[in-house]
Amino acid sequence: DLIFASTANSFSKLQTCCVCPRILAQLRNLLRLKDPKVAAYEKEFYTPKFRCKESDINEDLTDSETLALLESFPRVLTEKQLYVTFYHFRQYLIRCYNDMTEEVWKDFNNLLSVYQISEDDETEYWMECKKGLSRFLLSLNHYSIKCLYNHVRKRKKRKSKNFKKFLNDFAEAWFLGMKDIKNKWLTINRNKIINYNKDQDENIYENDPNRKNKKM
């Protein structure tokens, strides 16, 4: 089990996993969700479930504390234990997602150090990228809630060995989704910025009144 190996880099190993085709198919569909639908998920994500109270999940755990929590399962978990554990594990995954967003931002700035674009377009391009990344994270959060509900529907799923497998499968899907959305926006940003001057020159040419007069 990749998650439960007692090593300092056990979390990072998740990023090299292969993903279950069914989970992957569901995850890829999140890329096509529309804004209003995604926005409705935000409140649901922050609402405690399975008889939990705010006080049960208001503590921020470090990565090592999260790993310790994952390694201290009883043989059978209550619904509350499932949710609290999953909540903290998901918080770790969100931190990974935020780190990925920072990598996209650094790549964006590196491009700007080479290719010159206007400040207005720079702001517009990054805000579009940031919105897309944030929207996908909200989708992932909603997807995680659906996955957890589906997991606890059957009583046998509360056994620790089944929950560990579920967490592995979910983490694999999450990291693959992260990889997809990162590559998507790296490509979009690069194409926009690298082709910026070419597009500007074409617009100037098309709108040049002298060119139109010559045609006449």
Residue ranges per domain, the chain? 36-215
Over residues 177-197, the mean pLDDT reads 90
pLDDT tens-place string over residues 15-64: 444 445 555 555 555 555 555 554 455 555 555 566 666 666 667 778 88
Do 97 and 178 contact (CB within 8 A), yes or no?
Answer: yes
Please tell me which residue, 214 or 121, carries the higher pLDDT value.
121
Looking at residue 130, its pLDDT comes to 94
Range with the poorest average pLDDT among 33-42, 97-106, 118-127? 33-42
pLDDT the model gives residue 36: 52
- Per cent of the chain over pLDDT 90 is 22
pLDDT above 60: residue 72: yes
Supply the pLDDT for residue 23: 54
Q: Return the sign of the alpha-carbon dihedral for residues 82, 88, 92, 97.
A: positive
Question: What would the pLDDT profile of 144-175 be if each residue is shown by its tens digit?
Answer: 877 777 777 766 667 788 888 888 888 888 88
HSE-CB for 31 with a 13 A CA cutoff: 15
Q: How many CB atoms lie within 10 A of CB 2?
A: 18
What pTM, to 2 d.p., does this model score? 0.72
pLDDT of residue 171: 85
- For residue 102, is pLDDT > 90? yes
- Please provide the average confidence, as pLDDT, over all residues in the chain: 73
**DSSP-derived secondary structure for 3-25:** TTS-STTTTGGGGG----HHHHH
